[in-house]
């Protein structure tokens, strides 16, 4: 997984887009936990605040929700 740090799209948006695509194609199915911030930090090499913003985008879209003490889980598929 990589992001274009020099491109016009902010890194958090690129990460949200990639996670959304993984949800849409079934790589992360409904009911499954998305990778933790630590895992995402290792994958992308960005600050946790950037990752929190990316996850918040997905929360705002209603695709994921936080389960206290367990992580962030996929709750819906992206709308076409």
> Is a pLDDT exceeding 90 seen at residue 2?
no
In angstroms, the CA 12 to CA 10 distance is 6
> What are the structural domain ranges in the chain?
11-74
Phi/psi of residue 74, nearest 5 degrees: -75, 130
Give pLDDT, residue 1: 74
Query: Tens digit of pLDDT for each residue in 21-79?
Result: 999 999 999 999 999 999 999 999 999 999 999 999 999 999 999 999 999 999 999 88
In angstroms, the CA 38 to CA 15 distance is 14
Least Cα distance to 67 among 77, 50, 55 occurs for 55
Give pLDDT, residue 62: 97
The number of helices, as runs of H, and strands, as runs of E, in the chain is 3, 2
CATH no., domain 11-74: 1.10.10.10
Which structure tokens are listed for 32? Answer: 């499954």
> Is a pLDDT exceeding 70 seen at residue 80?
no
């Amino acid at each position: 997984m990589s992001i274009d740090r020099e491109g016009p799209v902010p890194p958090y948006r690129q990460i949200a887009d990639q996670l959304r695509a993984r949800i849409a194609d079934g790589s992360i199915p409904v009911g499954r936990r998305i990778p933790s911030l630590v895992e995402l930090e290792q994958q992308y090499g960005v600050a946790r605040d950037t990752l929190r913003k990316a996850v918040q985008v997905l929360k705002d879209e209603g695709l994921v929700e936080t389960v206290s003490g367990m992580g962030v889980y996929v709750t819906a598929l992206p709308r076409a």
